[in-house]
Structure 1
Amino acid sequence: MTTTISILLVDDQPERATMVAEQLTAAGYDLLAQLTSAEGLLFQVEKYRPDIVLIDIESPDRDILESLSVINQHNPTPVAMFSARGGAEFITSAVEAGVSAYMSEGMSPDRVAPAIEIAMAQFRSYQQLRLSLARTQKQLDERKIIERAKGLLMARKNISEQSAHQTLRTLAMNSNSTMQQVAEQVVEHLQSPVR
């Protein structure tokens, strides 16, 4: 069973928007809303929670990019942008703001489905990369605090690295905590000034 893809359409050309909307609906997409400008885009994305946002604005500006950047940070959503205008610098800024697919020609009914597929695939790929990076950063942070705690234990108790590691493991098991939680407590305790 395939899930219907829900779309928020932003197009400042009413005739083209109507043609694209009809094509999307006929192709089985769920058109949540059709906006004539990107004003209030943050609110609309929050309200409708679309699977993808399609944007075709004659003169895309920095306000749109700022809105997309905030959406990308707080409510990541695939975005396909169509625009006949905008040089390399604007395209780079659009991608950095969270545009998953940028089409350098205006939106037309026959180009929409491939753009949706590209944008959603790019978005999924980027999100996986983002999650992987976050996991790696978390692991590095955990290792850092554990190494710091081992170093403090070794210095304060004059024990080997292996003994310091075993001490942290034992404390973690006895307190039903993670090594990181115990390491944070050890660092906090051993770094606090002696009264």
Structure 2
Amino acid sequence: MELVLVRHAEPVRVEGGDRPADPHLTRQGREQAQRLAAWLADETVDHLVTSPLVRARETGAPVAEAIGLAPEVVEGVAEWDAGSHEYIPVEELRRLQDERWFAMIEGRWEDNGGVDPVAYRNQVVDAIERVIARFPAGRVVVVCHGGAINAYLGHVVGIERPLWFEPAYASISRVAASRTGVRSIVSVNETAHLRSNAAPR
């Protein structure tokens, strides 16, 4: 089967709240989600999964409409910092060389309201493997988060660093999953569908 991992589209920045941050998409993020949906509409998709977080569900909504499938919400592919009271886009933290950026890439996730990186990877891998087991043939799209995509692809290729690459918003990464348990990365960080001149295939 083919596993299609999609990072959510661009969300708004959230700070200073008294509850876990769960941002909506920006206007640009909604446009990204529409372009993603138009691209995937030309593929045969057998099942659609989303994280429970708003940014993933809003990214998955136009995809669901385009392919005619109701999304299944899977808790195990939520982001590692789902309990944090702030959401600052990772590219901003990196640009500012913020201490929170270094905590993220070094795996000190508890400093940012997150969980243990090893436990998180195990959670994500277990959740995705359960989906694969239910759909051993065909194509499954999973709309989730940068951390979840890093966790699963890192598991496939044996990279232990919790965050080893930065998936673009609404990007696509594909994994071929055989019935024998072999997992092979087909593509990482596809973004052709996000170009202004991209057309459905």
Q: Which band: TM-score by shorter chain? A: 0.3 to 0.5
Structure with the higher helix share, 1 or 2: 1
TM value normalised by structure 1? 0.32
Q: Indicate the structure whose relative CO is greater, using CA pairs within 8 Å and at least 6 residues apart.
A: 2
TM value normalised by structure 2? 0.31
